[in-house]
């Protein structure tokens, strides 16, 4: 009986908060000046949980993969490691930023992963992200994860 009341109370409160807080899908400043999102989630004081961060990442990856499939037919042909490299780059750069890698994309279209890998490093991005670019370039060339011993 008590459990039913708690669930009912939570649902009533949920509906009230949704009505009174309103839904904002992009960050905004609340009346107290705090960075907020969603239904009044105070990002500055509360932040998000690790589970929420993982959920956001999964949603972002799913959305990005859909965009990559739609934009680049060759993306489906890549093995899982090379797909992950493209996802990592496009996540970091944005789809528009990734699309500026004309030579890399041309080599990927031709399944020339060695030259695609080389072209990844021939960029301002590679200088900016350093180790990340080197790691992704090697993975693109080899197409496999290698355990280091």
Q: Measure the CA–CA gap between 91 and 109, rounded to whole angstroms.
A: 20
Q: Which residues, 6 or more positions from 105, have their beta carbon under 8 angstroms from its beta carbon?
A: 72, 99
Where do we find the tokens 């009533």? 12
Q: Measure the CA–CA gap between 41 and 30, rounded to whole angstroms.
A: 10
Give the pLDDT of residue 9: 87
Give the pLDDT of residue 34: 96
Give the pLDDT of residue 113: 98
Q: pLDDT digit of tens for each residue in the chain (149 aa)?
A: 456 667 888 899 999 999 999 999 999 999 999 999 999 999 999 999 999 999 999 999 999 999 999 999 999 999 999 999 999 999 999 999 999 999 999 999 999 999 999 999 999 999 999 999 999 999 999 999 986 54
Query: Could you give all domains of the chain from N- to C-terminal order, each with its CATH number?
Result: 1-47 (no CATH), 50-149 (1.10.530.40)
């Amino acid at each position: 009986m008590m459990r039913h009341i708690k669930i009912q109370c939570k649902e009533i409160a949920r509906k009230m908060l949704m009505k009174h807080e309103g839904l904002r899908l992009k960050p905004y400043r609340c009346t107290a000046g705090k960075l907020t999102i969603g239904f009044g989630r105070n990002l500055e004081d509360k932040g998000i949980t690790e589970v929420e961060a993982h959920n956001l990442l999964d949603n972002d990856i799913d959305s990005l993969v859909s965009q990559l499939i739609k934009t680049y037919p060759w993306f489906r042909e890549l093995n899982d490691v090379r797909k992950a490299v493209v996802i990592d780059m496009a996540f970091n750069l944005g789809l528009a930023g990734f699309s500026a890698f004309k030579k890399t994309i041309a080599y990927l279209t031709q399944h020339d992963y060695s030259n695609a890998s080389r072209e990844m490093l021939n960029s301002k991005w590679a200088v900016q992200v350093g180790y990340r670019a080197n790691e992704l370039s090697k993975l693109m060339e080899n197409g496999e994860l290698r355990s280091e011993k």
